Amino acid sequence: MINVAVNLGRCVIAAAFMFVLLLLCDRATAEQAGGEGGQIWVEAVGEAAGSDYDPPKEVMERARADAKRRALEEAVGTFVRSHTLVSNAQLAEEFTFARVRGRIERVSTISEERDRNDPNLYRVRLKALVRPLYPEEDKSLHIRVDLGKNTFRSGEEIRIHYQVDSDCYIYIFSIAADNSVTLLFPNSLLPDNFVRANIGQVFPPKGAAIKLQAISLPRFADRPSQERIKVIATRVPEIILHGFQEGIFRVYDAASTGLVGDLARKLSQIDPADWGEAVRLYTIAPADSK
């Protein structure tokens, strides 16, 4: 875990945390999952409004295009939800599944109609077979993270160095050996998490009232423990994360899935090229170890 010491004038607030770095970006119904390549059938309804001068065939095609768009959105949501999330500790894993997009393989029209109350409103209900697609990793944001070394003795100071290849917004989390997660940055003292491209950054920054120390959890006091740093960068200005606020930091229970669930849903709504991630593993050794 990490001991976070915050100096506020004469007052020193200390809290024991581990850390993970996170750089951060009408419902259709899925009928069945499975199939080859994870493809699913999705039913969706699309609408389009025309005028007395618009050709009916053209307006109906716009309604059909809207139904296909809705089918893809629902399919992507289903692909993301199908990934088993059992605890917030999965933040340490790669979020590849949140990059999934879809491609329609087959379409079957169920009905086409004009609204009874508004004859200029056209509606199409269809069933689409959607196959999941995963964009290439090299099209995402790239992040470099360095701790200086892989092993820290309990009580030793830690500084996180990172750099991204695009202007973006970053989030810093801590995942302890007991799988609890703490959002270290942004926080109530350092709320601005925007960084410029290709400029080396460090957390805590120089002059900040925050200091990170590697501290072994009580049950790991006599043996090494492994912890992780995760980096997710996103061009989206804000990803709202809900969690219990403990002092200046936001914390997440190890047993729940609220954090990873929220992140997965929100990242899946961002273009895969507009976010990226990196994971780093480090070890905390007992202070008296050789």
Indicate if the pLDDT at residue 125 is higher than 90.
yes
Task: Locate 289 and state its tokens.
Answer: 């170890």
Among 197, 219, 232, which Cα is nearest to 20's? 232
- The values of phi and psi at residue 266, to 5°, are -75, -40
Helix and strand totals (H; E) in the chain? 2, 20
142 pLDDT band, cuts 50/70/90, is confident
Q: Which residue has the higher pLDDT, 242 or 223?
A: 223
CA distance 276 to 196: 15
Q: Which residue has the higher pLDDT, 40 or 91?
A: 40
Dump pLDDT digits (tens) for 179-228. 778 778 888 888 899 999 999 999 999 888 888 888 888 888 888 998 88
CA distance 64 to 113: 11
Among 82, 108, 112, which Cα is nearest to 97's? 82
Q: Where in the chain is the domain with CATH 3.30.110?
A: 29-134
Are the C-beta atoms of 110 and 55 separated by less than 8 Å? no
Question: According to the model, what pLDDT value does residue 195 have?
Answer: 94
The hierarchical CATH code for the domain 29-134 is 3.30.110
